[in-house]
Amino acid sequence: LAKAEEIMCKRIKEYWMKRGVIMHLPDTIYIDAYTSFEGECEVGSGCIIKKSVIIESKIKPLSVIEEAIIKNSSVGPMARIRPKSELIDTHIGNFVEVKASKLKGVKAGHLRYLGDSEIDEGTNIGAGTITCNYDGKNKYKTKIGKNVTIDPYVVIGEKVKIQNNVKIFSFSHLKNVKIENNVSVGPYARIRPGTILKSGSRVGNFVEVKKSTIEKNSKVNHLSYIGNASLGKNVNIGAGTITCNYD
């Protein structure tokens, strides 16, 4: 069986190379019979590709792709694209894992995990950022809009929705929150469940917000705690302010 697999794998690779697919060190590449290529494609050494559709894309060395659609994108080196993923016009760098996600026009350079997500064009995901959208019982879809910049080492928990033109600075933590357009968060901010950040609002460094609504163009600058609160429009909260509304 092993010999038969080796022979069939070689035939599959020869078939696609004759049709213009570039393969580097093809003896080190594994491609199964359920994978197809369209247009100009390139596959680096040591790649494993199973049950996938590769269109006008470059797969760099030592990447693993399973049951995915890759279109006009680059992947790797040393990236893993897991089942039910679709990458369109996207750059996935080294040590990035993508699972059950749709990425369109996204840059994820290195050291990230993006699972069960929809991320729209123009968005950049910083190194070390992860989606952790499983609460122990259920898996939730993370939705991130257009032209969002997420800096390194941000943790995006379950039930997070981020709209367009948002900036999340490094080392921030989000869980069960809704972030509207043109919001900035962090660095080192914690946005806890039940929070809504309205368009144009700003949450600064070392700020914790819980079960609160921050209305349009309001600012919570730094070193503050806002819990179980509702801030109106154009409110400015100074450093060190806390709500202590528990008796």
**pLDDT tens-digit series, residues 146-182:** 999 999 999 999 999 999 999 999 999 999 999 999 9
Of residues 175, 187, 178, the one with CA closest to residue 133: 175
Query: What are phi and psi for residue 6, nearest 5 degrees?
Result: -60, -45
Torsion of CA 4, 10, 15, 17, to 10 degrees: 170
Token look-up 């809504």 returns 196
Contact (CB, 8 A) for 23 and 29: yes
Mean of the per-residue pLDDT values of the chain: 97
Candidate list 91, 110, 173, 222, residue with the active-site label: 110
| Contacts of residue 137, Cβ cutoff 8 Å, sequence gap at least 6 | none
9-17 contacts at long range (C-beta below 8 A, 24 or more positions apart): none
Its pTM stands at 0.93
Least confident of 154-158, 175-179, 199-203, 243-247: 243-247
Active site residue 173: no
- Is pLDDT above 90 for 96? yes
